Amino acid sequence: MTVEVRLPTLLRPSAGGAASVTLDGATVGEVLQDLERAHPALAGQVLTADGSLHRFVNVYLNDDDVRYLDKLDTKVGEGDVVSILPAVAGGAS
Amino acid sequence: MAVARNVLELIGNTPVVDVSALSPNPDVRILVKLEGVNPGGSVKDRVARSLVEDAERAGVLRPGATLIEPSSGNTGIGLALVARVKGYHLKVVLPANVSVERRQLLAVWGAEVVESPGSEGSNGAVRMAQRLASEHPEWVFLYQYGNPANPRAHYEGTGPEIYRDVPEITHFVAGLGTSGTLLGVGRYLKERDPDIEVWAVEPPSGEMVDGLRNLDDGYIPPIFGELGGEKLLDRKTVVGPRDSIEWTRRLADVGVFAGISTGAALAGAVRCARQIEAGVVVILSPDGGWKYLSTGAWTGDIDEVTERAKKVIYF
């Protein structure tokens, strides 16, 4: 499965400056592992050493936070967009 | 109707209206709880009263005390109202890029505005308030992001009201900011019926994420972690400004004049309605549309309004 992975500004320097990269995998976890293979400088920034999601990182499959789907086991489909974003306070009006 | 002794007694007991005409699924009803009818105009009146009265009970608020709080608007406005009635001074740390009406309302009740950089969004306001509070130990920092009195206002008020008025509820959808509404209402509803799903809607983090220097600058409201937010939510979905504005306009088509974050919650409810077979979805409308008139949300060209909304905090 080929998916587009969008990177936040602060991770782009570790990926050669790219704002988005095209990667392979059947699940979100596999896609993120492929990301670390393609850009070793990102190792440890999105996934922790034990392979779970970094606490201050949110990963979205299209519009949905994968923590509330099947986490890293969430299946991806052809043409899906995976976005990596730092956790920030919402508007919190 | 009984006569209220003061305006703070008018907070809560807000009405629910059926907007199922906007549902994409004939077997899914969509109901909106209108928090804009609170005296300060938003759901945050509940939180403000709860934070202040909790601090009074704990003895940390003396007569004439000064309060400081980060807010992108509604909590500041609610606190300004409560502080004025109860005789406290209030300083609100407000990102520079909030709508002009929010500032005007703060001035109505005499709050002082301390501006934080707009590019840092709510995160920046929180950081600045924390710094100012540590420099001024004589001020009282109620800290809505970390104070259990915030979700408690919803556990004791908003949640029971929803279950009383809509016992057939299957899904609750609301915006995620401090997470107080979702934590309080969600916990109350799941205690009554664990099958009720709780969906969070969040705005895209947009430009404010660009201001972070590293991932550890990220921010999760302490109450979200401490009260098990991750276990409580069933879904978290992002709704962008264009969808939010389009659904805010659709609400006006059925006569409901609500703020832009209500449009975001409705867009989330519509997404939910498309994915389930049948159900009753209740959304929380944080405020009315008044504070957003200057954005042209209802009448302007949708592309222009969307671009403008990206630069203004509306959530």
Q: Do B175 and A56 touch (CB under 8 A)?
A: no
Average pLDDT score over residue span B21-37: 98
The answer on pLDDT for B107 being more than 70 is: yes
Tell whether A92 is covered by a domain. Answer: no
- When pLDDT is cut at 50, 70 and 90, the band that residue B212 belongs to is low
- Phi then psi for residue B170, to 5 deg, are -115, -25
Residues B275-298 have a mean pLDDT of 95
For residue A81, the model assigns a pLDDT of 97
Q: Is B261 a catalytic residue?
A: yes
Please state, for a pLDDT cut of 70, what percent of chain B lies above it: 96
Tokens coding B67 = 């309060």
Which of A 18-77 lie inside 8 A of B, CB atoms? 45, 54-57, 60, 63-65, 67-69
Q: pTM score, two decimals?
A: 0.93
In the residue annotation, B190 being an active-site residue is answered as no
For residue B278, the tally of other CB atoms under 10 A from its CB is 11
Q: What pLDDT, in 10s, does the model give residues B55-67? A: 999 999 999 999 9
Which of B122, B215, B238 lies closest to A86 in CB terms?
Answer: B215
Of B7, B168, B134, B166, nearest to B81 by C-alpha is: B7
Residue A93 has pLDDT above 60, yes or no: no
- The pLDDT mean for chain B works out to 93
Domains and CATH numbers, chain B: 7-38+158-311 (3.40.50.1100), 44-141 (3.40.50.1100)
Pick the closest to residue A6 from B262, B22, B238 (CA basis): B238
Which residues of chain B lie closer than 8 angstroms to A90, CB-CB? 122, 175-179, 202-203, 315
**CATH number reported for the structural domain that contains residue A33 in this entry:** 3.10.20.30
| A75 neighbors A27 (Cβ within 8 angstroms) | yes
In 3D, which of B142, B137, B87, B133 has the Cα closest to residue B114? B133
Contact B266, B247 (CB under 8 A): yes
CA distance B1 to chain A (A): 31
Token digits of residue A54: 């970094």
Burial class from Cβ neighbours inside 10 Å (0-12, 13-18, 19+) for residue B237 reads buried
Q: Are B218 and A56 within 8 A, CB to CB?
A: yes
Residues 65-124, chain B, touching A (beta carbon < 8 A): 71-75, 121-123
The more confident residue out of B314 and B1 is: B1
Q: What is the pLDDT of residues B37-60, one digit of tens each?
A: 999 999 999 999 999 999 999 999
CA distance B283 to chain A (A): 17
Cα torsion for B102, B107, B111, B117, to the nearest 10°? 50
Span A49-60, mean pLDDT? 90
Query: What's the total number of domains in chain A?
Result: 1
> Is A91 domain-assigned?
no
Checking if the pLDDT of A83 tops 50, the result is: yes
In angstroms, the separation between the Cα of residue A1 and the nearest Cα of chain B is 23
ipTM for the complex shown:
0.90
Residue B96 burial class via C-beta count within 10 angstroms: exposed 0-12, middle 13-18, buried 19 and up: middle
Domain that holds residue A12: 2-86
> Are B76 and B53 within 8 A, CB to CB?
no
Question: From the candidates B23, B33, B44, B179, which is the catalytic residue?
Answer: B44
